[in-house]
Structure 1
């Protein structure tokens, strides 16, 4: 116990920073749902990326770092897929129980493994094949009830967020192999996403910001930015697989927050399905 107290006091949490990130990302989902009566998913995404872009730009400016890159095409490709992923996620969160939407987004690890097999022609190992089968069974079980309701489209969009997120992870991996630093990748992503959202809203609408909803936008931006920083620190200081494993606490925190705030009770089948998706993601993350 004293070891944990010392780690908290000194900030040397290693992969434990991912638990902090998981809580922040779950909180981000809460703010997205709270913002639904006031803002469209596009507006929520605009403010989320704008706050993140402003913060990262301030850090880059203070350190006088160079944001232009010879790999600008790869940055744009990653930014577009990342933007598509978060658009789909925000829409799914506004229409589905929080834990369900987050779980569907976390199929990204499965899609990443599948993309590596197809695009890089990596051998489909028994471990990856097992992960894909378990994940597919979990997804089918989780989605099955939605096809009997009005939320089937939102469920498919949530699954699509996982696909785009997996593609985005693949592109981040490629950027890393090109020697691109993480801060530059984040700067491009938040900047391009902010511009895309702004263009979208110019042809859509801006909802009024009032004293009743400004705290939601502040919480959204703060939780998303804090989660990004904690996640980056987790991968920098801790073991990568352990950090990735702790990332699935986002599903747990989301389920608890959804239950406490909105009474989103999960059936036994849903909990088993979510567990299957998490398990498959952990197996896929350790592919060899």
Structure 2
């Protein structure tokens, strides 16, 4: 049941995407949007860690820097796509990360003949074609390519997050340091672009970006930490469905059958890739645990 928190996270991330779109339409700059995405998480997690006397310094700055360079860049590109594309299209492109992970595993991961990964890549490719069908206007192609690049960089960030988890780094510290990098990147952007005067509509949308992003991050962390990893990974794709429904209600962006089919293929590709990765991780953990189980412990020897 804990995995169902992922549905709450998906709804929050879809709302966050809608707020990004509204805030950009209301005149907020991209650095301002990114600042409000990261600042609430920094404040909440910092004071929470201090109250519990939890150490903030990470075990490996190298892993965090790798994760955050790709993750923060992916966020900037994804937000740009959200600002200039239909909500469902931008979110679908942002969720192509498992497709790129499958491509990477086929090319360099030693699983070149894995038929499941080959099928995942083919489904994902067809899904992207369906979402980026010729009805995308000429001025939207640049934003679409940035959205696809956001998915590719998110794949790199996801693999670094797995490495952080295996090194024993707690999820809250990973999120805190990521949020600090997000805020730092926004401050650099504000130095270059300056602070824009905003009306109440933009402020309200920016507040929505921060709160929805924060609650989405917390509920997603809870789902992955306490629920089934495979079920949680599968449920995360409901963000695309939530985004499509929000786009229909508030912007009248009703996807045609080809776009719906493309979204379904991207979801199917992600599910296959997530299932394959989860299965391989279980097999690897089993092999690593087997030699240990064959070695008698000191307690067993005493018995």
- The structure with the larger Rg is 2
Alpha-carbon distance change, 44 to 172 in structure 1, aligned in 2, over 3 angstroms: same
Alpha-carbon distance change, 119 to 145 in structure 1, aligned in 2, over 3 angstroms: same
2-side partners of 1:164 and 1:70: how far apart?
A: 23
Q: Which runs of 5+ in 2 are unaligned?
A: 281-303
Partner of 1:6: none
Confirm whether residue 150 of structure 1 aligns to residue 139 of structure 2: yes
Partner of residue 239 from structure 2, selected from 221, 241, 250:
250
CA contact (8 A) 2:32 2:190 kept: yes
Partner of 2:22: 34
Partner of residue 182 from structure 1, selected from 158, 162, 171:
171
Q: Displacement, 1:58?
A: 1.6
SS of the equivalent of 2:254 reads: coil
Partner of 1:23: 11
Q: Displacement, 1:212?
A: 3.6
SS of the equivalent of 1:38 reads: coil
Partner of 2:195: 206
1:227-246 to 2 correspondences below 5 Å: 227-246=216-235
1-side partners of 2:51 and 2:225: how far apart?
A: 21
1:39-188 to 2 correspondences below 5 Å: 39-145=28-134, 148-188=137-177
2-side partners of 1:124 and 1:46: how far apart?
A: 44
CA contact (8 A) 1:31 1:217 kept: yes
SS of the equivalent of 1:145 reads: coil
CA RMSD of aligned residues (A): 1.5
Partner of 1:282: 271
Q: TM-score when scaled to structure 1?
A: 0.91
| CA deviations over 1:7-46 (Å, ceiling 9, x no partner) | xxxxxx4111000000000000110011012212222011
Q: Displacement, 1:77?
A: 1.2
Q: Displacement, 1:60?
A: 1.2
Q: Which runs of 4+ in 1 moved over 6 A?
A: none
